[in-house]
């Protein structure tokens, strides 16, 4: 009888020369450049919370949640089965778990809760670390963090209610009035179809509606990310011109505000996070800041989200570099580990040096956000624009280089690199695209010459050093 050959003879391949899975690392402890920069700029006290987050974000569980939240993107539930408006987004449970984790670590509020210098450094370092597990949820974390300085311009009762739910708040996805919630998240709605950079072209109207400056909004917004947030800082044309308003998702009486989700964007990356096109059909809103001073008010939010475009970029760069180094340390070609091949060592060294410089830059700028004095805030104003322009432009090429270090494997969706590659261009686009930032730099130099002097003084201090 001629039977099948024994299994051992059938074996066509043994899996060799492949790296072990990446994960199970403390993303803070294993990142000497970030650790040094964060401790130097923020103070020794930021070390413990960063280790806590680093261990959790680098653990295989959170990395798996990040993959799942991107593999199962959010879906719009515009109507219920009977045709009633719902205007809700349905998320995979992984997204909720990631949001809860991010808020438990205080990425959204630690800068305002710290009560000591270094809070913004800790926030930025946390955002960079969490981004390595999942970038999408950092959008609502960043907007919520950044909403606080703008919300300070609201009437005292509104300010205290909302900031009181943000600072110290936990993730609470239930749709109910903010006063009844354990924590709140805030988004921002500026961009309209006819203009995103040029927000003065906004056409959304704000019609007076009773006391306290309340208004009813009629209009649309072309991009509104994290549309399940509890409130949105939005720009609309009021009687005094373009003004800033806070639009709660649920009204104080528990009913839904007239914020209608038209559709969700089908995005290149950042897919775990929903970005909606919305319409206001008489949505109730309260003023934030002086009437007609909408841009001046919301720019305080934008100034802080810009810092996060830098921190997010840092996280993307680090995640890509770590995967490249991990692969090269385990994979062999031509009788050597890749990392020991001179050409690969040179590639990785270039990438590592660029990442280390980025870590120094981002942590230094975050410290400037912590300091109240004039020279530091001047440095923050101009430095964040310069840093955003530079780092976000470098990021896609940087990630592509890291991707190539994995060879063909880097191009395969099961790896982290394709997701990072799609995420890489985004931080350049929002909160001011390249040209807009370049024009903003010129405006800052003209209006605030001290900002230019502060940047030059900072560079001069490093002259001749390594």
Ligand X SMILES: Cc1cc2nc3c(=O)[nH]c(=O)nc-3n(C[C@H](O)[C@H](O)[C@H](O)COP(=O)(O)OP(=O)(O)OC[C@H]3O[C@@H](n4cnc5c(N)ncnc54)[C@H](O)[C@@H]3O)c2cc1C
Please give the residue ranges that form the binding site for ligand X (CB under 6 A): 187-191, 195-198, 223-225, 267, 270, 275, 426, 429-430, 433-436, 439
- Distance between CA 174 and CA 153 in Å, rounded? 27
> What is the closest distance, in whole angstroms, from the C-beta atom of residue 6 to ligand X in the complex?
56
Determine the distance from the C-alpha atom of residue 247 to the mean position of all C-alpha atoms in its chain, rounded to a whole number.
Answer: 21
Q: How many Cβ atoms are within 10 Å of 94's Cβ, its own excluded? A: 21
> What is the closest distance, in whole angstroms, from the C-beta atom of residue 195 to ligand X in the complex?
5
> What is the closest distance, in whole angstroms, from the C-beta atom of residue 270 to ligand X in the complex?
5
Q: Would you state the structure tokens that stand for residue 329, as one six-digit string?
A: 């340390």
> What is the closest distance, in whole angstroms, from the C-beta atom of residue 439 to ligand X in the complex?
6
Compare residues 132 and 427 and give the one whose CB is closer to ligand X. 427
Compare residues 189 and 403 and give the one whose CB is closer to ligand X. 189
User: Measured at CB, which residue is nearest to ligand X?
Assistant: 196
Compare residues 197 and 341 and give the one whose CB is closer to ligand X. 197
Compare residues 377 and 433 and give the one whose CB is closer to ligand X. 433
- Distance between CA 128 and CA 111 in Å, rounded? 14
Is 68 exposed, middle or buried, given 0-12, 13-18 or 19+ CB atoms closer than 10 A? middle
Compare residues 197 and 377 and give the one whose CB is closer to ligand X. 197
Angle at 133 between CA 131 and CA 136, to 5 degrees: 55
> What is the closest distance, in whole angstroms, from the C-beta atom of residue 413 to ligand X in the complex?
20
Residue 332 backbone dihedrals phi, psi, to 5 degrees: -110, 145
Compare residues 181 and 220 and give the one whose CB is closer to ligand X. 220
Q: In the 3-class helix/strand/coil scheme, how is 146-163 assigned residue by residue?
A: HHHHHHCCECHHHHHHHH
- Distance between CA 434 and CA 438 in Å, rounded? 6
> What is the closest distance, in whole angstroms, from the C-beta atom of residue 74 to ligand X in the complex?
13
Contacts of 138 (CB under 8 A, 6+ apart): 102, 107, 127, 130, 131, 308, 312, 315
């Amino acid at each position: 009888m001629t039977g099948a050959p024994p299994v051992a003879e059938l074996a066509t391949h043994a899996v060799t020369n492949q790296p072990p899975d990446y994960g199970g690392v403390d993303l803070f402890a294993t990142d000497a450049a970030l650790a040094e920069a964060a401790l130097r700029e923020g103070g020794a006290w930021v070390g413990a919370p960063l280790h806590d987050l680093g261990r959790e974000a680098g653990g295989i569980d959170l990395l798996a949640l990040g993959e799942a939240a991107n593999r199962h993107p959010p879906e719009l539930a515009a109507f219920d089965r009977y045709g009633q408006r719902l205007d809700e987004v349905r998320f995979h449970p992984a997204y909720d778990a990631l949001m809860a984790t991010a808020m438990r670590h205080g990425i959204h509020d630690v800068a305002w809760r710290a009560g000591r210098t270094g809070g913004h450094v800790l926030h930025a370092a946390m955002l960079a670390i969490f981004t390595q597990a999942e970038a999408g949820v950092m959008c609502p974390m960043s907007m919520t963090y950044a909403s606080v300085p703008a919300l300070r311009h609201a009437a005292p009762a509104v300010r205290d209610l909302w900031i009181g739910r943000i600072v110290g708040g936990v993730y609470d996805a239930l749709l109910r009035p903010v006063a009844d919630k354990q924590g709140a998240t805030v988004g921002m709605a500026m961009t309209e179809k006819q203009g995103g950079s040029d927000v003065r072209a906004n056409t959304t109207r704000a019609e007076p509606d009773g006391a306290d400056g309340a208004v009813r909004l009629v209009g649309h917004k072309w991009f509104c990310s994290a549309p399940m947030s509890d409130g949105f800082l939005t720009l609309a044309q009021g009687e005094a011109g373009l003004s800033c308003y806070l639009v709660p998702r649920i009204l104080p009486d528990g009913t839904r505000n007239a914020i209608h989700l038209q559709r969700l964007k089908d995005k290149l990356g950042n897919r775990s996070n929903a970005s909606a096109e919305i319409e206001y059909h008489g949505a109730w809103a309260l003023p934030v800041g002086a009437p007609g001073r909408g841009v001046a008010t919301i720019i305080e939010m934008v100034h802080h989200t810009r810092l996060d475009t830098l921190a997010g970029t840092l996280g993307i760069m680090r995640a890509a570099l770590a995967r490249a180094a991990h692969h090269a340390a385990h994979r062999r070609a031509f009788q050597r580990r890749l990392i020991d091949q001179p050409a690969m060592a040179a590639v990785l060294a270039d990438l590592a040096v660029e990442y280390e410089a980025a870590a120094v830059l981002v942590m230094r700028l975050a410290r400037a956000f912590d300091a109240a004095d004039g020279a530091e805030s001047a440095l923050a104003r101009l430095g964040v624009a310069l840093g955003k322009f530079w780092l976000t432009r470098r990021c896609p090429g940087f990630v592509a280089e890291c991707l190539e270090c994995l060879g063909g494997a880097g191009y395969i969706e099961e790896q982290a690199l394709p997701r990072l590659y799609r995420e890489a261009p985004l931080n350049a686009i929002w909160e001011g695209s390249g040209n807009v930032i370049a024009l903003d730099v010129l405006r800052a130099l003209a209006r605030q010459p001290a900002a230019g002097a502060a940047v030059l003084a900072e560079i001069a201090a490093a002259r001749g050093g390594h």
